[in-house]
Amino acid sequence: MIEIEVHMPDGIEPKAVPVSVEQAAAREELIVAMRGTLGTYPGCIHWHFKRAGEKGTLEVTWWPKMTRLWFKVADGREGPWIRGAMERLRAQLEG
The fold adopted by the segment(s) 2-94 is: TATA-Binding Protein (3.30.310)
DSSP-H helix ranges across 1-95:
17-27, 82-94
Amino acid identity for residue 56 in this structure: G
User: pTM above the 0.75 mark?
Assistant: yes
Average confidence (pLDDT) per 10 residues, the chain, 95 residues = 96 96 98 98 98 98 97 98 98 95
Asked whether 83 and 77 are in contact (CB, 8 A), the reply is no
Q: Which residues of the chain form beta strands (DSSP E)?
A: 2-6, 30-36, 45-51, 58-63, 68-73
User: CA torsion sign, 73 to 38 to 47 to 88?
Assistant: negative
5 phi, psi to nearest 5 deg: -80, 145
Domain residue ranges in the chain: 2-94
